[in-house]
Every structure is written in structure tokens, then in C-alpha cells.
Amino acid sequence: MAYAFDTLGYSKTLRAAGIPTDHAEAHAEAAREFIMVDLATKEDLRSALQLQTLQITVRLGGIVGAFIAALGAFLKLT
């Protein structure tokens, strides 16, 4: 879920309450950085999904390889 933060509206509200313009703008920018830091983009999610897919593929390959080695050893013993 993405959140939209209206820095201009926030700044205007602060100025209307009597906060000096430079302070209001600084507060709005600080609030935007605090709120927006945890948002993920589609590219972030895509990269994370590709990394997870690669990790699962490598693990599965290791499991299959170990199974084939164990099966070969078992067949050699019998």
C-alpha cells in the first residue's frame, strides 16, 4: 500500500497556524523523508523477488544433487 504525502498542503497548514515559511517547509520535508523512507517501489519488489527465486533455485539444485549422490552411493553398495 502506497501513501501519498502532500508536503505543500502540510506546509500551508503550518504557515496558516503561524509557523514561519522556512520552518514550515523544513518540517514538511522532514516529515516526507520520514514517511517515504519505508515505501518500496515496483523495482524494489521485482529485485527482491528475483533474488528469492535465485536462492530457491540454488537450494533446490543442491538438494537434487545431494539426493543423486546419495542414490548413487546407495546403488553402489547394493
The per-residue pLDDT for range 4-40, each reduced to its tens digit, is: 778 889 899 999 999 999 999 999 888 888 877 667 7
* Environment class of 51 (CB within 10 Å of its CB; exposed 0-12, middle 13-18, buried 19+): exposed
Q: Tens digit of pLDDT for each residue in 45-62?
A: 899 999 999 999 999 999
Residue 33 sits in the same domain as residue 48 = no
> Are 56 and 33 contained in the same domain?
no
Q: Are residues 59 and 70 in the same domain?
A: yes
- In this model, does residue 41 exceed pLDDT 90? no
31/59 same-domain check: no
14 contacts: CB under 8 Å, gap ≥ 6: 23, 24, 27, 28
Q: Give the chain's domain count.
A: 2
Domain that holds residue 3: 1-39
Query: Contact, 28 vs 7, CB < 8 A?
Result: yes
Between CA 41 and CA 52 the distance in angstroms is 17
Q: Tell whether 45 and 68 lie within a shared domain.
A: yes
Q: Are 35 and 45 members of one domain?
A: no
Residues 30 and 46 in one domain: no
The continuous run of DSSP H or E covering 28 comes out as helix 21-36
pTM above 0.85, yes or no: no
Per-residue confidence (pLDDT) for residue 40, from 0 to 100: 73
